Structures are given as structure tokens and as C-alpha cells.
Amino acid sequence: MRNISYAYGHNHFDEDAELLAVLRHFWPEHKPKQWSQLQEFGAFAGGEVYEAVYHIDHDARPVLVAHDIDGNRVDRVRLSPTELRILKETAWINRAPYEGQGWPYHYALLYLLGDPGLGCVLTITGQTVYALHKYAKRGVEGVDAIKEDLLSGEAFGATWMTESQGGSDLGANETTADRDGEIWRLTGDKYFASGAGLADFAITTARPAGKPAGPKGLALFLLPRLNREGNLNFHVRRLKDKSATRAVPSGEVELNHSEAYLLGDAEEGIYYTLENLTVSRLANAVVAMATGKKVHLEVLERVVRRHSFGQILQDHPLIRRDLTDMAVRSAAGLALAFYGVKKFDEAWLDRPPYSARYHLARLITHLAKNRTAEHAAAMTAMGMELFGGLGFLEEYGIARWHREALITPIWEGPSNIQALDFLETITKQRAHHDFLAEMVPLLEGVDTPAARRAQHVMEHSFDELEHLASREAQWYSKHHLRQIADSAQVALLYQMAQDQGGLYERLAELYAVRFLDHEEYPSWVDEDTCVWGG
């Protein structure tokens, strides 16, 4: 691996200055033991995990085994021993929120792991635990044992919502649920089922008989792989041939009177589902920035090794400009992601009909999920470019990260869905008032041209979305989603400057120049190694 990667063998915690600063700022209550565990995990992520994810992607994708040696239908994936070992050794990171260690610790570990495929397996398993922890109040036998198996790596979970006719439109789902004594029987197809063939338990949506059409008619269920008699409870039709995230098997699942257990109240199923989406959208945001950072680490070493036109790459002005763009995006996106994590950590125990703090966390999650995905795609593409032809070769460790980054705008709802859900938090929940109550005093306190610009953009965007007619608001919602996310990143970088140093004030102003004013980075950055030098 050392022959094809510069980042391999390094401690990805120690070498990530942005992560250290973001955690110190947004998670000041961290314990010394947690910090040392992150440092230890950073070495693991930069060594064994970094090599394993390359191997899985290139040489050892999950394979669906339809029948066992006796001819019985099993629909089980065969994982490489390396992947199975890594998954078992990292299962513990899902425990943090349930043992009082907080969501920031969980997401920091997920960020260090960095791989969207492995991260997806852990996230969908964690989402299964989340639903059981909050809503398996009755009717699920052995729920504590199930949770322990999921948290220890003895079992895997999944979230199966998507159906072919609806995609992101959950209200179009056609899977039905019929009561059969203490259990329910589900019938339908789940079209993009991550964890297919791996999951021992999945949470899935279905519409109970007599419930109305649309999203509010959906209930949430726990679906075990085996029924009460020990037989296969559903079939996996096939696995998808994906361009990336190959570590997580994604397939099509057929439910035919499959046994399932209702979670919580049937009338609140769509709310539980959206809660779970908040968990995975934050994971998406964090891992998006992680893919960008993996390439950033590769690039920082490349530019001091490679020579062109008589000098090392790092000494060329345009290279420093590109490094600046990667650094600005990395710091800003990570700040936005962990601001969302912080707010979710404060609100995650809320239940329907939810508090204002929960709706605020949801609003920020949409900002973070959407903008970090765009940062990741841009950073990994630039990384490939800075490596030249080698960056496009699959035999080296760069091209894969761009493929991985390209799933992050799609997973958990693409930009159009994020924009529409974000619009709902404004027009229905009025969550933007609490958001502005935090952001505006922060920006007014800074009172620089960049801060005033960010405040104006933010207030104007919210005002338009709040007052435009419905169809017109939808038309502009994606534009304003990005505008508000960008102004928020300026505010958060300024906030970080208060306790993390003047570098973050400069990063805030650079972000504003590039993404609010849409101007080129100023040339003074050429001499500021603290900005672009890692």
C-alpha cells in the first residue's frame, strides 16, 4: 500500500488540524480518554482500514450466496475476511450515544474511518439500534439482546425505505402491512436496500391496511432476517453493480408475507423514519468531508515530492491557490457538519411532536448534508487533477476517493429533496427564527465586511423562502439552501476564531470571498502557509 498511497501509514487524527480544532470548539466537553481513543483510532484508520478499503473496492466485493451447500435458500453475502474483521473491530463506535459519550464522539470516529462503504454498514446498523432504543416499547421480543448483538458486531442492521416507483418519494411506497396476531406481515419490494444479504435485522416502512396514501400513512417496522420458525423471512433478488461504496452490499429485497414488528405508534411512522434520516444525513455530511480530507492528505504530500518547471509543485502560485481551495472547503464543511452534530446531540431524545430545538437540528442537517457533498466532490476532483494522470489511474489510491465522494450528493436524499425538506422546516416549523437568533448576533459581533455580507445573504434568503408563493419558493429553494449554508459556514469559522485562533478568521473571509462574492481568492494567500500548507 505504501507504493500507491502517501496517506497510508499515517495517523489520520494527528495530521488533521481541522478535525482537532472543530472538536475542541464544538465538543469542548470531550474527556481525555476519548481524545486518546480518537488518536489511537486515527492510527488504525490510516493503516489497517486504509489498506482494507482499497482491497475491498478493487479485489473483494461482497458476493451474494443464494443457496447453501445443502440447497437451502439463504440469500447471504460472503464478505472478505478482512472486511468482516474491520466491521467487527469498529462496531463499538455505535455505542457512544447510548453510553453517555455523545454523538460528537460517534461521528468523529466515523469521520476518521472515512470510507463511505464501511461507514454505511455501521450507520445503518446504528440506525436500527436508534429505532429500537427509542421506539421498541412493546411487541419486540428480546429487544435488549438484539441491540447488544448489533452494537457488538455479532449482527448487522439496515434501513430499507426506497421502492422503485417512488425513490425519494416515500409517500409513493406500496409495501403493505397486515396484522397477524402479535406480528405484522409485510408484502412488497425494496429496491435500493443497503445491507441486503448482510442484515440480520432491518427497519423498514410499510402501509398498514386502511391507512391513507402518502407519507403519513406509513408505519415503521423491525424486519428480522429469520422468522419465528427459523426460516428465511425475505429474499434478496440481486446485488447492485455500483461504481463505488462496494463495501456495503446494496440489493433488491422481496417481502412476501414477511414477519415484522411494529415500532412505536403506526400513526407516527413517518416521523420515526425522518428521525433516522437525520442520523444518516449527518453521517453523510461527516463522511463526505472525510473523503475530501483523505485526498487532501494525499495531495499535501504529493506537492512537496513532485517537481515541475524547475521547482516543487508547492512553490507554484496556482498550486497554492488549489491547496487554498481544499483547505477552505475542508475547514468550513467540517465546521458545518459538526455544528449539526452538536445540535442533534442536544435534541435527539425528543419525540413527536418534537421541540423547537429538534426542528433547528433538522434545518442545520439539511444545510450540512447538501453543502458538504458538494465540497467532497470538488475536493476529490481537484485531488485527482493535482496528481495528473496518476490521479485517474485505479491502481493508485486517489481515483477511488472521487468515486466514493460522488455518492454523497445522492444518498439520503439528493439536493432537490434536501431543498424541499429544508423549505418545510421554514414554512411549517419556523425553525429559521431560532437559527437566525444564533447566527445574527455572532455575525454582528464580528462586524467585518465579510460578516455583514454573510448576514445579509442569510436574512435575505430566509425572507424570500418564507414569503414567496409555494411553487416559486420551491424553484429558488436549492439556490437559497446553498446560500444559507455558505453564509453559515462564514459565521461558524468566525466563531471558531474566538477560541481556535486567527487562522479561522482568515478562513472565514476567504470563504466569503469565494462562495458569497464569487471572486477569486486574493493573492496574499500565496504567502500564508498556515492557510494552504496543511
Amino acid residing at 288 = A
Predicted pLDDT of residue 217: 97
Contact 213, 182 (CB under 8 A): no
Predicted pLDDT of residue 104: 98
Domain hosting 478: range is 415-527
When divided into structural domains, the chain yields a total of 2
pLDDT value at 534 more than 90: no
pLDDT, average across residues 352-371: 98
**DSSP 8-state class, residue 314:** G
Amino acid residing at 529 = T
pLDDT, average across residues 301-324: 97
Contact 263, 222 (CB under 8 A): yes
H or E segment and range at residue 77? strand 73-78
**CATH code, 226:** 2.40.110.20
Dump the DSSP string for 181-242. Answer: TTEEEEEEEEEEEETTTT-SEEEEEEEETTPPSSGGG-EEEEEESB-TTSSB-SEEEEE---
Amino acid residing at 285 = A
What CA–CA distance (Å, rounded) separates 418 from 440?
Answer: 23
Predicted pLDDT of residue 61: 97
Amino acid residing at 460 = H
Instruction: Give the three-class secondary structure for 53.
Output: helix
Predicted pLDDT of residue 167: 85
Predicted pLDDT of residue 110: 98
Query: Which of 267, 282, 298 is the endpoint of a domain?
Result: 267
Q: How confident is the model at residue 360 (pLDDT cuts 50, 70, 90)?
A: very high
Any domain includes 239: yes
What φ, ψ does residue 221 adopt, rounded to 5°? Answer: -130, 155
**DSSP 8-state class, residue 515:** I
Size of the chain in residues: 534
Predicted pLDDT of residue 48: 98
What φ, ψ does residue 226 adopt, rounded to 5°? Answer: -110, 140
Q: How confident is the model at residue 498 (pLDDT cuts 50, 70, 90)?
A: very high
Any domain includes 146: no
pLDDT, average across residues 201-220: 96
What φ, ψ does residue 317 adopt, rounded to 5°? Answer: -55, -40
Contact 118, 152 (CB under 8 A): no
pLDDT value at 454 more than 90: yes
Q: Which grid cell is 495?
A: 466563531
Strand partners, 180: 183
Residue-wise pLDDT for 420-433, tens only, equals: 999 999 999 999 99
Residue-wise pLDDT for 245-290, tens only, equals: 999 999 999 999 999 999 999 999 999 999 999 999 999 999 999 9
H or E segment and range at residue 373? helix 356-386
Q: How confident is the model at residue 59 (pLDDT cuts 50, 70, 90)?
A: very high
What CA–CA distance (Å, rounded) separates 374 from 289?
Answer: 10
H or E segment and range at residue 262? strand 250-262
Provide the CB-side half-sphere exposure for 33 (13 A, CA): 2
Percent of the chain with pLDDT over 90: 97
Residue-wise pLDDT for 74-98, tens only, equals: 999 999 999 999 999 999 999 999 9
Any domain includes 473: yes
pLDDT value at 321 more than 80: yes
Predicted pLDDT of residue 232: 98
Predicted pLDDT of residue 423: 98
Instruction: Give the three-class secondary structure for 308.
Output: strand
What CA–CA distance (Å, rounded) separates 79 from 74?
Answer: 15
Predicted pLDDT of residue 141: 85
pLDDT, average across residues 441-470: 98
What CA–CA distance (Å, rounded) separates 211 from 188?
Answer: 16
What CA–CA distance (Å, rounded) separates 482 from 371?
Answer: 7
Any domain includes 161: yes
Q: Which residues, in sequence order, are CB contacts of 519 under 8 Å at separation 6+? A: 513
Amino acid residing at 222 = L
Any domain includes 343: no
Give the torsion sign (CA, 69, 74, 75, 78). Answer: negative
What CA–CA distance (Å, rounded) separates 272 from 94?
Answer: 19
Picking from 314, 290, 283, 505, the residue whose alpha carbon sits closest to that of residue 379 is: 290
Any domain includes 489: yes
What CA–CA distance (Å, rounded) separates 341 from 103?
Answer: 7
C-beta neighbour count of 20 within 10 angstroms: 16
Picking from 282, 278, 182, the residue whose alpha carbon sits closest to that of residue 222 is: 182
**DSSP 8-state class, residue 268:** G
Predicted pLDDT of residue 64: 98
**Which residue in this structure is represented by grid cell 421541540?**
355
Predicted pLDDT of residue 191: 95
Q: How confident is the model at residue 512 (pLDDT cuts 50, 70, 90)?
A: very high
Any domain includes 208: yes
Query: Which of 267, 293, 325 is the endpoint of a domain?
Result: 267
pLDDT value at 9 more than 90: yes
- Average pLDDT, rounded, for the chain: 97
pLDDT value at 342 more than 90: yes
413 dihedral zone (left: phi>0; alpha: psi -120 to 50; beta): left
pLDDT value at 168 more than 90: no
Contact 344, 282 (CB under 8 A): yes
H or E segment and range at residue 483? helix 470-500
Contact 510, 521 (CB under 8 A): yes
Any domain includes 126: no
H or E segment and range at residue 271? helix 269-305
Distances (CA, A) of 241 to 66, 123, 163, 480: 17, 21, 17, 35
Crossing angle for the helix pair 470-500 and 356-386, nearest 10 degrees? 80
520 CB burial (10 A radius; 0-12, 13-18, 19+)? exposed
Query: Which of 267, 285, 301 is the endpoint of a domain?
Result: 267
Q: How confident is the model at residue 169 (pLDDT cuts 50, 70, 90)?
A: confident
